Structure 1
Amino acid sequence: MSEHMLLGAGLGAVIGLILALTGAGGGILAVPLLVFGLGLSIVQAAPVGLLAVGVAAAVGALLGLRQGIVRYRAACYIAAIGVVIAPLGLWLAHRLPNTPLALGFSVVMVVACVRIFLIATRELHHGKPAPRAESRPCVLNPLQGRLRWTLPCARALTFTGMLAGLLSGLLGVGGGFVIIPALTRYTDLNMKSIVATSLAVIALVSTGSVITASMAGVMHWAVGVPFAVGAVAGLMAGRQVAHHVAGPRLQQLFAVVGVIAALMLAGNALG
């Protein structure tokens, strides 16, 4: 294995580890790592990052299915919408210059990471928020343990799928930072189920985007395969220690690293 492939596998392991420890937050760092670590452009890095994040998310989702905590109907619905919209994002990505694309990615990263930091800070100071009393569009049927499908629920999940699919194709992110807040806001699922369902959506949407990128001839498999293998290894290792180290402090650290990476990416694009 060449030094380049070993570096790719190592960077992938970092993404898998973050994915395991932060609950689907690692995908947003995949593109900056590929840009700075392997010298790829945003357009080149996006499908490679999606391949790694998608494979690692699939492993996490399968483990969640075994535990019975994946809401697979909701995951398949959100993913189906995302897969339909993702090619539009990919089409836009190949028609935008690298500089505005990098700046746009940096803005998305900063917004997502600031939100993660604020939520973690509130949890440190006030503990986990109490369950909200107001009605949500998607609630579990207590007798069946499944989500009740209503028009407001379908509307909320459709919007979530559209946004996740667009960002997946355009910026090469799995969309966990969109899906997890959406499921938290629109459903009454517990956090373990939300994360597992999010991983299932990420795996499905990423698969669709990778297939689209391959058909368009823009998938760099020589970089993508070792990166994906490393991500799976990092995910499995991270799951072994997640219950010891995961928490709001780690979320804060991840957010700070994400903001720094975003600023470096923006500086590199402008420079």
Structure 2
Amino acid sequence: MEIIEILGYIGALFIGLVLGLIGGGGSILTVPILVYALALNPVTATAYSLFVVGTTSLVGAIKNMVKGMVDYRTAIIFAIPAFIAVYLTRAFLIPAIPDELFEIGDYMVTKNLAIMLFFAIIMLLASVSMIRNKRKETDQEAQTSYNYPLIIIEGLVVGTITGIVGAGGGFLIIPALVLLAKLPMKKAVATSLFIIAIKSLIGFLGDVQNLDIDWPFLLIFTAISVVGIFIGIWLNNFIDGKKLKKAFGWFVLVMGVYIIYKELAM
């Protein structure tokens, strides 16, 4: 096993570690690790990322379900359009995109390049969300209300983005749950993990019919990530994950810029 592959598996541990420590964000690293450390093509990497993100989020969601922190009604309203969108994106939209999109002078814009650039833009948006992070944590219960049209539209948008880039989209879901469903922050975070788990795993089903899945590799990578979550949850007893969130946001920002540079320089 080459050193770069070993770093890829260490990256899997880091993904779970970040999810356990700060409650989100780690999944944004899954695709870069799979593409640059483990040499998968972006289409396969985004598919595998859905499985990794869905499974690791499910671990966190089950923990929150036991605590009674998941708002199931809100989750269902949001998740149904989201998982329909992510499934259709993976099953039909991604396979329908041609391998070569268009030429700019002598430069060919390919499907893989477009996916990685779009992913990098999502990373930059996620990093800004984590760096600013002005939302206040509160235990105060609020009267949950539902703006159905906007929640459905948000679910469709997040589902489509998730389908394209393979990331969970928690930085988009949590504000939507707070603003559109009036959920308290802690319930929004818990419900977000539940939604991410459902839509990511259902989205992955759209890939099973189009890709040859390397199950031994995928299950090992995912298992390492799940171990990382438990380590992160344990470290939460000694480290304030909220203080790490801004630092991780800067790291994601640098990674996003690096991906844009690397893809355009190739």
Amino acid at match of 1:118: R
Q: 1:102 aligns with which of 116, 134, 145?
A: 116
* In structure 2, distance between residues paired with 1:158 and 1:12: 32
> Which amino acid in 2 is paired with 1:210?
F
Q: Distance in 1 between matches of 2:236 and 2:38?
A: 28
Q: Can you list the C-alpha shifts for 1:13-44, whole angstroms capped at 9, x where unaligned?
A: 11111112222211111111111211122211
Give the partner amino acid of 2:118.
G
Instruction: Give the one of 184, 188, 204 matched to 1:190.
Output: 184
Letter in 2 for 1:106: A
C-alpha spacing 1:2/1:105, structure 2 compared with 1 (3 Å)? closer
Root-mean-square deviation (CA, aligned residues, Å) is 2.6
1:113 alignment partner, one of 99, 121, 127 = 127
Q: Give the whole-Å Cα distance in 2 for the aligned partners of 1:129 and 1:12.
A: 28
* 2:83 match: secondary structure: helix
1:14·1:234 contact (CA, 8 Å) conserved in 2? Answer: yes
CA-CA distance at 1:240 after TM superposition: 1.2
Aligned residue number for residue 33 of structure 1:
33
The residue aligned with 1:57 is 57
- Per-residue CA deviations over 1:130-186 (Å, capped at 9, x if unaligned) read 99xxxxxxx955xxxxx44x5xx2223212211221012111111211111211222
Task: Note closer, same or farther for the CA distance 1:198–1:129 as it changes in structure 2 (3 Å cut).
Answer: closer
Deviations 1:207-244 (A, max 9, x none): 10111111222533233211110111111111112253
Match of 2:94 in 1: 93
Contact 1:44 1:218 in 2 (8 A): no
Provide TM-score, normalisation by structure 2: 0.84
Share of identical aligned residues, percent?
A: 30
Structure 1 match to 2:194 = 200
Partner residue, 1:251: 245
Report the equivalent of 1:73.
Answer: 73
**Unaligned residue ranges in structure 1 (runs of 5+):** 132-138, 142-146
Tell me, yes or no, if structure 1 residue 210 matches structure 2 residue 204.
Answer: yes
Please state how far the C-alpha of 1:129 moved relative to its aligned partner: 7.7
Q: Judging changes above 3 Å, is the alpha-carbon distance between structure 1 residues 243 and 176 closer, same or farther for their aligned structure 2 residues?
A: farther
Residue 2 of structure 1: how far off its partner (Å): 9.9
The count of residues paired between Structure 1 and Structure 2 equals 251
Could you tell me which residue of structure 1 aligns to residue 106 of structure 2? Answer: none
- Give the C-alpha shift of residue 4 in structure 1: 8.5
Q: Is the 8 A contact 1:15 1:53 kept in 2?
A: no
Alpha-carbon distance in 2 for matches of 1:80, 1:8: 33
Q: What TM-score comes out, normalization by structure 1 length?
A: 0.83
Answer whether contact 2:74 2:181 (CA < 8 A) is retained: no
Letter of the structure 1 residue corresponding to residue 259 of structure 2: L
- With a CA cutoff of 8 Å and minimum separation of 6, indicate the structure with the bigger relative contact order: 1
